[in-house]
Amino acid sequence: MMSAKKYFALIAAVTAVFIAFLYFSPKLFNSYTLIVLGNIYIFIILAVSYNLINGVTGQFSLEPNGFVAIGAYVTAILMLSPEVKEELYMLAEPLPLIKDVFLPNPFLTLLISGIVAALVALTLAFPVFRVRGDYLAIVTLGFGFIIRIFLINNPEISNGSMGLDSIPGFASYFWIGIACLLTVILIYNVVYSKYGRAMKAVRDDEDAALAMGVNTFKIKTLAFMTSAFFEGVGGGLLASSIGAISPDQFTFMLTFQLLIIIVLGGLGSMSGAILGTILVLGGMELLRPLDDANWHLGSIHGIPGLRMVIFSLLLLLIMLFARRGLLGDKEIWDYFKLKKNGVK
């Protein structure tokens, strides 16, 4: 534990360093690298928020793709002008509310996207948290499928399987980075608050936490809504950065990718989720040349699909030697403290 003065000094130092990196990145990297970094920032938002419900609170939830889709579509609908919507909606005439709503303010749009996702999470919490464990995973998995089917079968709301494009690209590299920084700081403060301690108590032994007076339903719902809010914001940023969305982008594979990230980094570890995001997304980009048939290194030539084979083998080796993830349930600075104190 550190004093409040030291804590705020540390937060200020990390913020200053990261903002400096954001400012100088366009001068140091090419446009492709900046796109990759921006994508990493968005997935850090999604990973740390997903880790809050799955790792910190210990609720095996498989719902992120649904909330990301909600955030992406709410952002797209709010940011597109009525004239553009009239041209885009080809499968059915958009509902009057969908067609006429227009909010070109990016900050308010992302805020509303997060709030809508959080309200949906609140509605789901009542049936979802009546079950635990594998049953909870099945229920939340079904929610992701329902959202996708809803988007496909209601073209008057979402333009169906054609999706939406021409989404304003307000999510620049710098502002995506700022959103990532704010998300990490806010969720970190939640994790290490009294609510965060209650979430960890629910994870470790829900029945014991209930016996000690913890309102487990309230804590799980709070974690679920907080996670959904930031997943909705991440979905809005994703929609703006890509410029086009469709239901096929929000399949279970998105949830599976986030699950790999937080398990690789260590369930319950904030810094583990960040490290896992960097390794998974950065590693996939570094290995991309392996898919190019024209690439070669000595006698080794690239083969389409070889990247996924090598990446899967690397993940397998990491998980064999680090079964609780790279950082377990600890933060990266905890290891420095242990090393300083002579604990192996």
Helical residues (DSSP H) of 29-52, grouped into ranges? 31-51
pLDDT of residue 83: 92
On whether the CB atoms of residues 251 and 70 are closer than 8 A, the answer is no
Apex 96 CA angle, 93 and 102, nearest 5: 110
Element (H or E) spanning 159, and its range?
Answer: none
What's the rounded Cα separation, in Å, for the pair 232 and 111?
9
179: exposed, middle or buried (Cβ count in 10 Å: 0-12, 13-18, 19+): buried
What confidence score (pLDDT) does residue 103 get? 92
- pLDDT of amino acid 70: 96
What is the Cα–Cα distance from 241 to 237, expressed in whole angstroms? 6
Using alpha carbons, list the distances in angstroms from residue 35 to 65, 103, 166, 177, 256.
Answer: 21, 26, 18, 11, 22
Whole-model pTM above 0.75?
A: yes
**C-alpha to C-alpha distance for 335 and 331, rounded to whole angstroms:** 7
pLDDT at 11: 86
Per-residue tens of pLDDT for the chain, all 344 residues:
566 777 788 888 889 999 999 999 999 999 999 999 999 999 999 999 999 999 999 999 998 999 999 999 999 999 999 999 999 998 889 999 999 999 999 999 999 999 999 999 999 999 889 888 888 889 899 998 999 999 999 999 999 999 999 899 888 999 999 999 999 999 999 998 899 999 999 999 998 999 988 999 999 999 999 999 999 999 999 999 999 999 999 999 999 999 999 999 888 888 899 999 999 999 888 888 887 777 777 777 778 887 888 888 888 888 787 778 888 877 777 666 655 555 55
pLDDT at 340: 54
**Separation between Cα atoms, residue 164 and residue 236, nearest integer Å:** 13
Contact 44, 277 (CB under 8 A): yes
pLDDT at 342: 55
What's the confidence (pLDDT) of residue 307? 82
> Measured between alpha carbons, how far is 190 from 167 in angstroms, rounded to an integer?
32
- Closest alpha carbon to 161 in 151, 170, 169: 151
Q: Are strands 296-297 and 300-301 parallel, antiparallel or unpaired?
A: antiparallel
pLDDT at 248: 92
Q: Confirm if 117 and 71 have CB atoms less than 8 A apart.
A: yes
* pLDDT value of residue 287: 83
Continuous segment of H or E residues that includes residue 301: strand 300-301
What kind and span of H or E run contains 296? strand 296-297
